[in-house]
A and B are shown apart, each in its own frame.
Chain A
Amino acid sequence: MSAGAISTIATVRQNPTSWASTVIDRNRQSLSWQIFGVALARRFKGRSSKAANSQKTSEHQMVAKGTEPGDPRSKAAEFAECISKIATERSEPAFDILFRHFAPRIKSYCMRMGADDSAAEEITQEALVSLWRNAAQFDPSKASPSTWIFTIARNLSIDRFRRSRRPEFDPNDPALVPDDQEPPDRLVEQIDIEESVRNVMDSLSANERNVVMLSFYDDLSHSEISRRLSLPIGTVKSRMRLAFAKLRSTLDAQDGAGK
């Protein structure tokens, strides 16, 4: 896997000695986090917390804040509107907004997947042309703009760079088992799923988010993450366990049944 541009992401402000106490402290909280993670996420619906890419995330950030201009929800709404303007009026200003936000991030993602600079630019270029071409297919009720664009970039980088395939199910297949006809009050809207994932991720400390990132995008094992961050493997494991315990509540509970 790529050595990639990890170091900037791996910028961790605390010194190593404070991590141990953080982990112990979080252990005490973990049960209640797991139980209340989704409930809180739902409860604070409509009042999301601030964008998570700052390193300054506090340890107790599951506190709702008012909607702010940099709010990921309003950003998502703005991006969705841009995609719709590309579809309806081929708007270049709208495309420019999307380009400025997504091009550097798609390129960054490709480099984490192991592409060098020029291959990463090539895939980024394809992804953005594909965004333009398929703008009319974007359905905001099914995915946020970021999620939709992520799946475009992912599929292109597997095709182009890894020369491998990522098989997908076919929603029209005769052998497909259709979704249950849930009563309306049990239906979980996709937009709620997006929001609970976002809320749980916002609730993680920068350290926890960092290990999730290394595990998700770089597919690193615990020992590789431990080397990369110069952390004891025990710390990596407990941090990973806590982060995924919180995420698990959103991964497991979506149809409300868990059957």
Chain B
Amino acid sequence: MTIKFHVSNDILVSYSAGTLDEASSLLVATHLALCPHCRARNRSADSLGGYLLDSLEEAPVSSAMKDAVLTRVRSEPSVGVGEAEPVSRTTGDAIIPDPLRSYVGGDLDELHWRRLAPRVQQIPVQTTGGRSKARLLRFQSGLTVPSHGHNGRELTLVLTGSLCDRDSILYRGDIAETDERTEHQPFAGPDDDCICLAVTDAPLRFKSKMARLLQPFFGI
């Protein structure tokens, strides 16, 4: 299945610059594992970083620092000119690609889901720095998420099943990006459970009173 919904230029460029928070970077890196097209775009963004490094003003460097560097490299052991490590794929199957698999502690069959709402389960993903929160969500097939808006940006990366959001159907590897202006009611496709990685930088705004009342208990 070819991925149709890619990471946006803004986010890709922040990822390359190193200014994107860890939770969102985790989502970008997981998408890159699934999307050769964006891996090529990522190389472009990195070369923008290289270009801009050349264009930066020069900060004066102390001579003590230069001496320290020279002392250190002189004491470095000789390294043989090794060929670059050949890329050999680890054998075996995995549904959840790295780096996400390491963050959640295993592949799909090793995860411990917690109930979030009827027919919805979650696994919070620990990241540091920034306000953004990452979580794995599992929607039972056919489930409709209550209509809601956002107080900030939300990124969703589909890993299994499908998610229908507004006029689009998202499959494995696809990314949905929403912001303050988006109000939506996504639903999981009819065939398999939909598992996705969701990263939010602010709590959601649910429309229904019941969902709003329950929200503090779920922390979503």
> A-side interface residues toward B, CB under 8 Å?
1, 5, 8-9, 51-53, 72, 87-88, 90, 92, 95, 99, 102-109, 111-113, 120-121, 124-125, 128-129, 132-133, 136-137, 139, 143-151, 153-155, 157-158, 162-180, 188, 190, 193-194, 196-198, 201, 209, 212-213, 215-219, 244, 247-248, 250-252, 254-255, 257-259
Could you say which of B37, B44, B68, B87 contacts A259, with CB atoms under 8 Å apart? B37
The answer to whether A175 touches B97 (Cβ under 8 A) is: yes
The answer to whether B56 touches A174 (Cβ under 8 A) is: no
User: What residue of chain A has the Cβ atom nearest to residue B57's Cβ?
Assistant: A8
Residue B210 at the chain A interface, CB threshold 8 Å: no
The answer to whether A99 touches B69 (Cβ under 8 A) is: yes
The answer to whether B59 touches A111 (Cβ under 8 A) is: yes
Residue B161 at the chain A interface, CB threshold 8 Å: no
Known contacts A164-B129, A216-B49, A251-B44, A104 near B59 by CB under 8 Å: yes
Contacts of B69 in A (CB 8 A): 99, 103, 125, 128-129
Q: Beyond A109-B56, A201-B52: 18 further Cβ-contacts under 8 Å? A: A9-B57, A105-B53, A107-B59, A111-B59, A128-B73, A129-B72, A146-B54, A147-B51, A163-B128, A165-B25, A167-B30, A177-B33, A190-B43, A193-B44, A213-B52, A252-B9, A254-B41, A255-B40
> B-side interface residues toward A, CB under 8 Å?
2-4, 9, 12-15, 17-22, 25-26, 29-30, 32-37, 39-41, 43-62, 65-66, 68-70, 72-73, 76, 78-82, 84, 87-99, 101, 103, 127-130, 173
Min C-beta distance of A19 to chain B, whole Å: 20
Majority secondary structure, A binding face: helix
User: What residue of chain A has the Cβ atom nearest to residue B91's Cβ?
Assistant: A174
Min C-beta distance of A215 to chain B, whole Å: 8
Could you say which of B21, B52, B68, B79 contacts A216, with CB atoms under 8 Å apart? B52
Min C-beta distance of B3 to chain A, whole Å: 8
